[in-house]
Amino acid sequence: MIAFIQSFGYWGRGGGSRILRGLLDCNHPPVISIATVPAETAQQTPIPEITMPVRPRLGRLEHTRLAGKLNAFDPLFRASFEEKLIRVIERKKIDAIHLVGHGYDLVPTSNVAVRLDIPLFLSVHDDIEYLSEKHAARDELRASMARAWRYATSVYAISEEMGVEYSRRYGKREFAIVTDGLKGYAAQPLARPQKSLRVYFMGLIHMSYLPNFRALLDALKQLRAELPGWQIELTLRAGALAGVLRDDDVKVTVLPFAGEREVQRDMESADLLYMPLPFAKEAEAFGKFSLSTKMVTYLGSGLPIVYHGPANSAACNLLGKHGAAIAIPSEDPAEIARQILASLPRRNEIVTAALRLARERFDLAEQQRRFWTPMRELPANQ
pTM: 0.89
pLDDT given for residue 339 in this prediction: 96
Is 113:151 a contact under the CB 8 Å cutoff?
yes
Q: Name the nearest CA neighbour of 2 among 43, 54, 48.
A: 48
- Looking at the structure, do residues 44 and 95 belong to the same domain, yes or no? yes
- Looking at the structure, do residues 76 and 65 belong to the same domain, yes or no? yes
| Count: domains in the chain | 2
- Looking at the structure, do residues 353 and 367 belong to the same domain, yes or no? no
- Looking at the structure, do residues 167 and 291 belong to the same domain, yes or no? no
Q: How far apart are CA 257 and CA 242, in angstroms?
A: 15
- Looking at the structure, do residues 81 and 212 belong to the same domain, yes or no? no
pLDDT given for residue 380 in this prediction: 64
CATH of the domain at 373: 3.40.50.2000
Alpha-carbon torsion (184, 289, 314, 203), positive or negative: positive
- Looking at the structure, do residues 272 and 154 belong to the same domain, yes or no? no
- Looking at the structure, do residues 93 and 173 belong to the same domain, yes or no? yes
- Looking at the structure, do residues 354 and 211 belong to the same domain, yes or no? yes
Question: Does residue 188 fall inside a structural domain?
Answer: no
- Residue 355: C-alpha distances to residues 177, 295, 304, 367 (Å): 19, 12, 10, 17
pLDDT given for residue 382 in this prediction: 45
Partners of 233 in the beta sheet? Answer: 198, 251
- Looking at the structure, do residues 121 and 209 belong to the same domain, yes or no? no
- Looking at the structure, do residues 174 and 203 belong to the same domain, yes or no? no
Question: Does residue 186 fall inside a structural domain?
Answer: no
pLDDT given for residue 142 in this prediction: 96
Low-confidence ranges of the chain (pLDDT < 70): 39-41, 63, 66-67, 380-382
- Looking at the structure, do residues 262 and 342 belong to the same domain, yes or no? yes
Percent helix, strand and coil across the chain, each to the nearest 5:
45, 15, 35
Question: Does residue 191 fall inside a structural domain?
Answer: no
Q: How far apart are CA 254 and CA 296, in angstroms?
A: 22
Q: Work out the angle between the directed axes of helices 314-322 and 160-170 (0-180°, nearest 10).
A: 140
Question: Does residue 318 fall inside a structural domain?
Answer: yes
- Looking at the structure, do residues 258 and 235 belong to the same domain, yes or no? yes
Question: Does residue 130 fall inside a structural domain?
Answer: yes
Q: How far apart are CA 71 and CA 107, in angstroms?
A: 13
pLDDT given for residue 275 in this prediction: 95
User: Which domain covers residue 274, as residue numbers?
Assistant: 196-361
Question: Does residue 252 fall inside a structural domain?
Answer: yes
